[in-house]
Amino acid sequence: MNKKHNWILGLMLVLFMLVLPTAVHAADQAHINLNGKSIDVPSNVQITSVKGSVMVPLRLVVEQLGYKVTWSGSTQTATIKQGSTVVALTANSTTANVNGNAIDLEAAPFVKGGTTLVPLRFLSENTGATVKWDNSSKTVFLSTPSKSPTTTPTTGTTDNGSSSAPTSGTATTANAMVDSISFSDNRMTITVEGNVTPKSSSLTNPDRIVLDLPKTAFSAAFLNGQQLSVGDVGKVDVTGYPQVSGIRYSLFSSNPSAVRVVLDLNTAQKYKVITDTPGVIIVELDGDVTSSTGGTTTGTNTQTGGTPTGTTDNGSTAVPVTPGSGPGDDGKKIVVIDAGHGGSDPGAISITKKNEKDFTLAVVLKIQALLQQDPNIDFVLTRSDDSYPTLPDRVKIANNLHADVFVSIHGNSTSSAVSPSGTEIYYTRPDSVEFAEIVHDHVVQALGLPDRGIHAKSLHVTRETTMPAVLVEAGYLSNIGDESLMYSDDFQQKLAQAVVDAIKQYLNVQ
């Protein structure tokens, strides 16, 4: 099954599984825009607002993505089949059926005027799609991620992002795509689609590690609507690591297409480039600068100026890279921590106009600081700055690293006139129940907000991960009391400590 089909299936599952409010307050003539193209909507079809949730016709959206929904009038059931997966959703029923497995819903879907209506509210949290609602024009904007290669006029860049002499030729199609770049636990983690053999080098004046990815470009999801031509430089902020000042990335050339990632250092570091996890490239800083571990390529900042050793496909120099050890060495447990949203996706907007993405990152960076103190746990952050890894990318990091647990941090919100207050924990698969219960107990006790319980829901990051996975909705950003606490250091530190304590208890790490 290709990625497009996987994404479409994920979209359909989400449309079926999302929670639906129960009372209709308003309706407007429908306008839907899919990937920049306006979809013709019958005049009798309406976008409906239900307790603040925007509702759209199931068939209209899914058929635009190339699938047919079958409807049984006798049973009032919508069914869709993709390969071996069959999903059934019955009107007015709080139980959905996925491949014969019953999954409880908090509220039942409904049919209005012969149309099955489904909510858009959590769509962006459960698929790689970007979903926006323009209230002034009453338009839903849907955009699906694509993995088209980057092609630009052919030039080159130095490792500091300045332009070099142009090269000639026609831009070539990349064999691999960079999906995300993050830094945590003294490791730079890059996820890629496709096959690539990275080439590394170390430079001084200033100290830096250069990673070249030949025949590679940036995915559309990574660029997230931004243009990055040859010579342009993007940045990933790194905080909490005295030896690292930041990360820069650029399209080094387009003939052939090549990506360069530079890890800027404050002091010279020994490092390892680890490539033995499919789809994941790790540059790990080695605290011991006098020795290296067997089986792993290492480098030191021994060159001066701009010329390291070796030669890459694009003319720069590098040290050969071989697979080596990585997260989970010496029996350590692997934890993946996810800060919800990021980049151009702000998440929910709080009652005083703060972004959810800022809350989630602040908490995750505090979790990182705590996990750094435990020698028995290795961890990776899905994002360490204000960037946006797609939901599939977040899942990919955890699955490819064979993580022991996955935790995603979020802030809840509702557009209802009166917002609730409290903490909720979500999971999807039965093997996550015990972990969810432990996280729930620690977080609720630590935060002191009303306990809104543990809920099973089909969320992308808890559904597609293969290890125990939970999503923490710490409080309601739409509630003035919750929000005032959530952006305080004290609340965030309590949440971070509770999550770490829960992880240690579940993994039996003292």
- Residue 308 in tokens: 């390291």
pLDDT tens by residue, the chain, 510 residues: 555 455 554 555 444 444 333 333 344 555 666 665 666 666 666 666 665 556 666 666 666 555 566 878 888 887 766 555 566 777 777 666 766 666 654 456 677 777 776 655 433 433 445 556 665 556 666 655 544 444 433 444 445 444 343 333 333 567 888 988 989 888 899 989 888 999 998 888 888 999 999 989 888 878 876 777 777 888 888 888 888 999 999 888 777 888 999 999 998 888 989 888 888 899 998 763 433 333 334 444 333 233 333 333 333 333 334 344 567 667 789 999 999 998 878 999 999 999 999 999 999 999 999 998 888 899 999 998 888 888 888 998 999 899 999 999 999 998 788 899 999 999 999 999 999 999 999 999 999 999 999 999 989 999 999 999 999 999 999 999 999 999 999 999 999 999 999 999 999 987
359: which DSSP letter? H
Return d(Cα 176, Cα 345) in angstroms, integer.
Answer: 25
Return d(Cα 178, Cα 196) in angstroms, integer.
Answer: 10
How far out from the chain centre does Cα 461 lie? 8
Return d(Cα 381, Cα 379) in angstroms, integer.
Answer: 7
CATH annotation of 156-326: 2.60.40
Residues constituting the chain: 510
- Residue 88 in tokens: 């059934």
Looking at residue 138, what is its pLDDT?
63
3 state SS for 117-157? EEECCCHHHHCCCEEEEECCCCEEEEECCCCCCCCCCCCEE
Return d(Cα 32, Cα 409) in angstroms, integer.
Answer: 30
Longest Cα–Cα distance of the chain, Å, equals 77
Cis peptide before 392 (omega within 30 of 0): no
Classified as helix, coil or strand, 394 is helix
Looking at residue 93, what is its pLDDT?
72
Closest C-alpha to 281, from 174, 178, 408: 178
Superfamily assignment of 3-143 in CATH?
Answer: Copper amine oxidase-like, N-terminal domain (3.30.457.10)
CATH annotation of 330-507: 3.40.630.40
- How many other CB atoms are found less than 10 A from the CB of residue 310? 12
What are the residue boundaries of the structural domains of the chain, listed by start? 3-143, 156-326, 330-507
pTM: 0.59
Return d(Cα 461, Cα 407) in angstroms, integer.
Answer: 9
* Contact criterion met (CB below 8 Å) for 192 and 181: no
Looking at residue 45, what is its pLDDT?
63
Looking at residue 147, what is its pLDDT?
44
Map tokens 């630009």 to a residue: 152
Beta strands in 173-322 (DSSP E): 176-184, 187-194, 199-203, 208-214, 216-218, 233-236, 244-254, 257-265, 270-277, 280-286, 298-299
Classified as helix, coil or strand, 314 is coil
- Residue 399 in tokens: 């699955």
